[in-house]
């Protein structure tokens, strides 16, 4: 049986080991039960901010897009519509689409805390139903830890 592949969003660095759910995912990865990696854009974003973040991120691999421009363009348009129905307007929006697209192409579960909040009601988590309809599973950190332990 293939191990569960989890793509971490840039907000899932856990450099100080302060998030119990991310600690559990890292423990499961060390046991060989799941594979953790970043998308290329999340890897670049995650390494910014402090030397501790950069050092932590360097422990992971990253996945890039496949280079299949027609396939990627089709999925990119669907993902953009799911997350940003009024249109992609910023580099941050484009990066979110790229992170989700890479998870889709890789067949990975995306773990994030982006969206579904008072300050960002939509975002990736706020678009979970639309993304699930596209075959993309998006989980919060605690949900991912629970799901990974069950699979």
pLDDT tens digits along 6-36 = 999 999 998 888 999 999 999 999 999 999 9
pLDDT tens digits along 59-77 = 999 999 878 888 899 999 9
Return the residue matching tokens 């499961």.
28
| Domain carrying residue 103 | 4-150
How many whole angstroms separate alpha carbon 41 and alpha carbon 81?
20
CATH for 141: 3.40.50.1010
Residue 151 has what pLDDT? 80
The structural domain count of the chain equals 1
Nearest to 36 by CA among 7, 59, 58: 7
């Amino acid at each position: 049986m293939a191990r569960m592949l989890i793509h971490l969003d840039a907000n899932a660095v856990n450099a100080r080991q302060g998030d119990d759910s991310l600690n559990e995912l890292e423990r499961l990865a060390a046991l060989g039960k799941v594979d953790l990696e970043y998308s290329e854009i999340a890897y670049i974003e995650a390494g910014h901010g402090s030397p501790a973040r950069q050092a932590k991120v360097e422990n992971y691999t990253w996945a890039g897009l496949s280079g299949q421009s027609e396939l990627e363009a089709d999925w990119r348009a669907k993902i953009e519509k799911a997350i940003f129905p009024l249109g992609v307007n910023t580099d941050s929006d484009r990066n979110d689409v790229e992170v989700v697209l890479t998870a889709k192409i890789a067949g990975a579960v995306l773990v994030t805390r982006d969206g579904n909040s008072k300050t960002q009601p939509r975002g990736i988590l706020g678009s979970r139903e639309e993304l699930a309809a596209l075959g993309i599973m998006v989980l919060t950190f605690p949900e991912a830890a629970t799901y990974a332990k069950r699979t």
